[in-house]
Structure 1
Amino acid sequence: MSYSKLPRGYIAKSTVIVVSLGTVAFTAMQFGSGSERFHKEIFMPAMHRYFDGEKTHRLAVAAAKYGLLPLWGRNYYEYPELNTRVWDIDFRNPIGLAAGFDKDAEAVNGLRRSGFGFIEIGSVTPLPQPGNPRPRVFRLYEDQAVINRYGFNSAGVGTVRSRLKSAFRPSDPVPVGVNLGKNKESTDARLDYEICVGQLGPFCDYLVVNVSSPNTPGLRELQKRGDLEKLLATVKSAIDRLEMDEERRPKLLLKVAPDLNAAERKDIATTCMNKKYRVDGLIVSNTTLGRPAELRSEHAGEAGGLSGAPLKETSTECVRDFYRLTKGGMPIIGCGGVASGKDAYEKIRAGASLVQLYTSLVYGGFLFIVWRHCGAGCGSLTSPIMREYSCFSATDSCRFSASTRLSSFRVG
């Protein structure tokens, strides 16, 4: 057949198809192989350009759900010096995924393979609720930050329970926590948390009472001493009623805001250290309502909780304060502004036992944490943040590593 007899537009269409398929194949190969340059300079900028914050979030959850993080991360480099133990639970490393990414336990199995030492799903509410109107997520590019006002959008405890029941394995090396919230229209917050504990407690390693999100009206009021004492008593009673062996009962953690004043922090620390409520740990901290003067992004004035780099110093100081107030007697998970191994190590030095991150994934993508090829023909995979954290913990003159701090913690 001569070219003159080809259908009109045949060559052009064929060229488009070939180029498109080639582009898809190239993208898949670069993404799967862990090309840092491709990820930083092409993939993530393209995602930010063509998808808003919430759509990108949904795509990332789907990728984790279907095992695309990483595409071929079968052999990876472990850092045995980062293995640690808290609450008689083993963690292969102290860096975990904070709540907010996988709100409805859609991607638990995929996230286990992403390189995190532990993962936290939620926040989960008793009844399904849509959360606040869109748009409700804003990237602050110049500030490496995010403002969100999701408002506890949740599939509800029934759906999450079903997914966790299928995915949870007590012997899995990646512990799973569940972050609990209350419904926006609820008139009985204590009942909401009690329901969530009863339904989700058997299928996780720890439960988090979240009373610090700024996006649910009245939620932060539950941090006040009187209300907090009643809430913790209700939650602990619900945990005690779970029909399971004592050693398998989930640990109880409280997540606090970074915007607390000195008196409020002292009240919370005193309450949590009271053996009557048997709180096992703190997560410090949630997003902030504050807006540092140095913010440059056009979205800096949006309502909601600010997370990311601008929160780093505030949250680290908050960790340091709670460590002092609890006299080092309670494990703390440091959260807020962690974007490097150095950031994670600063949280540990301030008093944290474990560290969480989330916002840094918005800009660095999962290549930031997943195991990737280390190059030089070594044939193993490594993680940028784990490698850097390992260097800090190994070379610090004080030898103040996560494992040395945690050796004395056996809370539960």
Structure 2
Amino acid sequence: MSLAEQLGLKVLRKIDPEKAHSLALVALRAGLAPLPGPVTSPRLKTTFAGLEMPNPIGLAAGFDKNAEAIPQLSRSGFGFVEVGAATPRPQAGNDKPRLFRLTEDRAVINRFGFNNEGMEAIAARLKASMPSTGARAVPVGLNLGANKDSDDRATDFARVLEHCGNYVDFATVNVSSPNTERLRDLQGPEALQALLAGVLDARKGLDHAVPILLKIAPDLDPTEIAEIAEVAKTSGIDGVITTNTTLSRDGLKSAEKSEMGGLSGAPLFEKSTKVLAQLSNILRDDVPLIGVGGVSSALDAYTKIRAGASVVQLYSAMVYSGLSLAPKIAQGLDDLLKADGYDTVAEAVGSGRDAWL
């Protein structure tokens, strides 16, 4: 991490977390953050759900909710980027304050509630970010959401895909956020099958094949994980993101630990990796997985991959380690793969799964 980045993080941590988040995006768009370009090597190059990626380290949804900094994020060392969540209509989200740093735990609690400018504004930015010729150097995906006051939340996901799908490389059905009341009810097998069928039907009208991913919660028991696996295998989706934030507060030390919302960061690593390994053990090669939750180092990313993830995502760790964390993890992962004799990321997927079962 450069001295400038260290000083920037020190300043940002002294102000309100949500204001700091907004300022970080402003600085990024203004060119004040390191942009090394895609970090890659023959060992790091990988393919997920048909998408070619320079490395397997992705940015999770939530950092760039309104697709404001796609060009900059695509040059920041990530192998793929996910923006959003986007809902059909703009919505303000939950009341402030709604973002909390848990510094002692290297964690974050948020209860944003899908605050975003709506699919019209987000689609315009996604369209503007597309290169005039050829594919993007780094795949860009959109997290699909539903309006809090919608009469038919399942239909909302399909509507956003219909409107934005021509401008993205993949899309994620997010039924696992804990910050929209009763949203997680859509993870039940019957409701989920119907919802995904609607989204996959909407995909047929797009001008290119868009992989559809499902993002699940970490707070699932083995029976629920098995049900999710069955839906993943039979629905026709292209991958599962494992996992979203948790409602658990086990072992936290920070004063803000009792705040309502979803917990992310270091304390989520073990819980999310166990769910990842269990799901991977059932799905094997049928449906690929993205591992997310508590990734803050190359070893964390490598552990997720060995537990069954084909690629990984991170977000909360940047609150403490800055944007330069992405290329650092990618380069460190290359070294770890090399040290264990792997020529590709794919060779390592699932190699340490049993340790998490």
CA distance in 2, matches of 1:174, 1:227: 33
Aligned match of 1:80: 42
Change (3 A) 1:308 1:401: farther
Distance 1:67 1:111 in 2: 11
CA distance in structure 1 between the aligned counterparts of 2:152 and 2:59, rounded to whole angstroms? 30
Q: 2:297 aligns with which of 340, 354, 369?
A: 340
Task: Measure, in 2, the Cα distance between the counterparts of 1:394 and 1:350.
Answer: 18
Q: 2:184 aligns with which of 194, 211, 220?
A: 220
Which of 357, 374, 390 is equivalent to 2:334? Answer: 390
In the comparison of the two structures, how many residue pairs are matched? 347
Over residues 11-53 of structure 1, what are the superposed CA-to-partner deviations in whole Å (9 max), with x where a residue is unaligned? Answer: xxxxxxxxxxxxxxxxxxxxxxx52x5534x33122211x211
Instruction: Report the Cα offset of residue 138 of structure 1.
Output: 0.2
The structure 2 residue matched to 1:92, chosen from 54, 65, 86, is: 54
Deviations 1:118-167 (A, max 9, x none): 00000000000000010000000000000000000010000001111111
Q: Is the 8 A contact 2:58 2:312 kept in 1?
A: yes
Give the superposition deviation at 1:80: 3.0
Matched ranges for 1:60-209 at <5 A: 60-70=24-34, 73=36, 78-169=40-131, 171-209=135-173
| Cα root mean square deviation, aligned | 1.6
Q: Which residue of the partner structure matches residue 6 of structure 1?
A: none
Q: What secondary structure, in the 3-state scheme, does the structure 2 residue paired with 1:45 have?
A: helix
Cα offsets for 1:247-293 (capped at 9, x unmatched): x311010000000111111111101101xx2110000000000011x
**Hey, what does 2:225 align to over in structure 1?**
265
Which runs of at least 4 in structure 1 moved beyond 4 Å after TM superposition?
A: none
Q: Is the 8 A contact 2:155 2:195 kept in 1?
A: no
Change (3 A) 1:191 1:77: closer
Structure 1 gaps of 5+ residues are 1-33, 370-382, 407-412
Shift of 1:328: 2.8
Q: Which moved more, 1:105-114 or 1:168-177?
A: 168-177
> Are 2:241 and 1:283 aligned?
yes
Identity %: 44
Matched residue, 1:378: none
CA change 1:400–1:222 in 2 (3 A) is farther
Q: How far apart, CA to CA, are the structure 2 residues paired with 1:290 and 1:64?
A: 32
State the SS of the aligned residue for 2:95. coil
Taking the aligned partners of 2:42 and 2:96, their CA distance within structure 1 comes to 44
What SS is found at the alignment partner of 2:257?
A: coil
The alignment's TM-score, normalised by the length of structure 2, stands at: 0.93
Amino acid of the structure 1 residue aligned with 2:125: R
Pair 1:46 & 2:15 matched: no
Q: Structure 2 unaligned runs (5+)?
A: 350-357
Q: What amino acid sits opposite 1:205 in the alignment? A: D
Summarize the Cα distance change of 1:77–1:257 in structure 2 as closer, same or farther, 3 Å threshold.
closer
Conserved? CA contact 1:69–1:113, under 8 Å: no
How far did 1:401 drift?
4.7
In 2, Cα distance between equivalents of 1:343 and 1:232: 31
How far, CA to CA, are the matches of 1:282 and 1:87 in structure 2? 10
| Alignment TM-score, normalising by the size of structure 1 | 0.81
Contact 1:202/1:249 (CA < 8 Å) preserved in 2? no
Structure 2 Cα separation of the partners of residues 179 and 82 of structure 1: 25
Q: CA deviation at 1:332?
A: 0.4
Q: Is the 8 A contact 2:49 2:239 kept in 1?
A: no
Partners of 1:311 and 1:150 in 2: CA distance? 18
For the residues of structure 1 that align with 2:334 and 2:312, how far apart are their CA atoms? 14
Deviation at 1:215, TM superposition (A): 0.1
**CA displacement at 1:69 relative to structure 2:** 2.6
